[in-house]
Structure 1
Amino acid sequence: MLFGVASAPAIWQRTIDQILQGLTGVQCILDDMVITGKNDREHLVNLEKVMKRLEMYNLSVNKEKCKFFKDEIEFCGHKIDKHGLHKTEDKIKAILDTPEPQNVTQVRSILGLMNYYHKFLPNISSVVRPLHRLLEKDAKWDWNEECKVSFKRAKDLVTSEQVLCHYDPELPIRLACDASPFGLGVVLSHKMQDGTERPIAFASRSLNKAERNYSQIDKEALGIIFGVKKFHTYLVWS
């Protein structure tokens, strides 16, 4: 395949997914591959299976770029360790260093950066609602105090030390849903053995014009529907 062909990444991703199909403990995003295991023995078994499968298709890996037996890794913009999923310092710095936007294009860019870590940010849709209003059709540019507060609150959420725990099918799971006049927010969490709760992921969205006219009890019900649909994969197997 020629380097630089626009369709190359999608073709490669589809190909490697087919090659690794049926193997457990492996995830590949383009040319980044992660092989896991609950312990050293399981990790070695999974590693051997992946290497044999690649060899079967005449594929090889660059040993100099491989890292073995790591307690923590960075993958797809996240730091992953035994405690869970963390934001990475470079992504946080990129958001912190972003100045206040001067136009709609810059607002879209900022919201895109925030959205990358949306699962870490409780009720982020409601927090950045003033920014989203700037993107509405025929909206006049007005970077007012409300927008400045929203921008700062969003940055504060991004810099929080929120860690998302790994999903464990053996642990009890809890879905908490909430609704404000302008948005829905949900959090999926585990109840740990010590009685504490740790979040697995957050999700939120804004209410559209029609939904904002719902009664509060209907908004709360809509929040439950949103949460169940968002995290149904986890809920079905819990």
Structure 2
Amino acid sequence: ATIDVKDMFFMVPLQEGNQDQFAFTWEGQQYTFSHLTQGYKHSLTLAHHALAQELKQVPLEGGVKIYQYIDDILVGGDQLMLVKTMHDKIIKNLEGLRLTIPPDKFQSPAAEVKFLGIWWKGSMACIPQDTLSALDQLRMPESKKELQHALGLLVFWRKHIPDFSIVAWPLYDLLRKGALWQWTPMHEEALQLLIFEATTHQALGPIHPSDP
């Protein structure tokens, strides 16, 4: 089960003594933020810590684990009812803090859920279908920007692509500062191999169940 805490940044209050650091002037009028802003460099860290402290206040059900990344929460366990109970308790606790959890921002307990852009099936991670579709439709890049986009789709799954760094080396070499853009058959072969390995991993599934 998952929970996405909507507008988490804007719900973390700033101590009064720190609000001066968030003051700004607009059309001659001075304003100051009273809560964290999304553009502040340390907002991610502070929001993660604030939510982690609140999660500690919710007693764990037996055999249930909680994983958190900033404002996203994953509740996992072997017993469906225990996961559901924990999931409901977390939502109730957060709503008690006046945090909004819309129905489209959480996934009820199920054998597979999407968390941080990854499909989790039991203890295994699967490449999302939209990523596979994007790889299938990927054209050979005609610029550094297009190559960066292609590698961006693949690099997250590099641990499931054998010898990723070796195969991708000529592609990254093209992205070096000052390197001239010259797409060759060697580059095309490298990119096609990376795409093939990613889709093959998905088709076969993780060889070892413990491989996340």
TM-score using structure 2 length: 0.66
Unaligned runs of 5+ in 1: 166-189, 191-197, 202-238
1:81 equivalent among 121, 124, 146? 121
Distance 2:193 2:127 in 1: 17
Letter in 1 for 2:53: Q
Give SS of 2:73's match: strand
Letter in 1 for 2:39: A
Instruction: Indicate how the Cα distance of structure 1 residues 129 and 65 shifts in structure 2: closer, same or farther if over 3 A, else same.
Output: closer
Give SS of 1:34's match: strand
Distance 1:135 1:69 in 2: 43
Aligned residues: 170
The equivalent of 2:132 in structure 1 is 92
**2:68 is equivalent to residue 35 of structure 1:** no
Give SS of 1:73's match: strand
Give SS of 2:211's match: strand
CA contact (8 A) 1:86 1:162 kept: no
The equivalent of 2:53 in structure 1 is 18
Unaligned runs of 5+ in 2: 1-9, 11-34
Give SS of 2:101's match: coil
1:164 Cα deviation from its structure 2 partner: 3.5
Distance 1:93 1:67 in 2: 23
CA contact (8 A) 2:95 2:101 kept: no
Question: What are the superposed Cα offsets for residues 65-98 of structure 1, whole Å, 9 maximum, x if unpaired?
Answer: 4332322111112111126211011012222322
The equivalent of 1:155 in structure 2 is 195
Letter in 2 for 1:15: A
Q: Which has the higher contact order (CA 8 A, sep 6+)?
A: 2
Give SS of 1:6's match: coil
Letter in 2 for 1:98: L
Distance 1:78 1:54 in 2: 24
1:11 Cα deviation from its structure 2 partner: 3.9
Question: What are the superposed Cα offsets for residues 138-164 of structure 1, whole Å, 9 maximum, x if unpaired?
Answer: 433221111111011011112112434
Distance 2:36 2:138 in 1: 33
1:121 Cα deviation from its structure 2 partner: 1.5
1:72 equivalent among 112, 121, 126? 112
Q: CA RMSD in A?
A: 3.0
**2:90 is equivalent to residue 54 of structure 1:** no
Instruction: Indicate how the Cα distance of structure 1 residues 199 and 20 shifts in structure 2: closer, same or farther if over 3 A, else same.
Output: closer
1:130 Cα deviation from its structure 2 partner: 1.6
Distance 1:99 1:3 in 2: 41
Identity %, equivalent residues: 21
Give SS of 1:85's match: strand
TM-score using structure 1 length: 0.59
Distance 2:136 2:204 in 1: 16
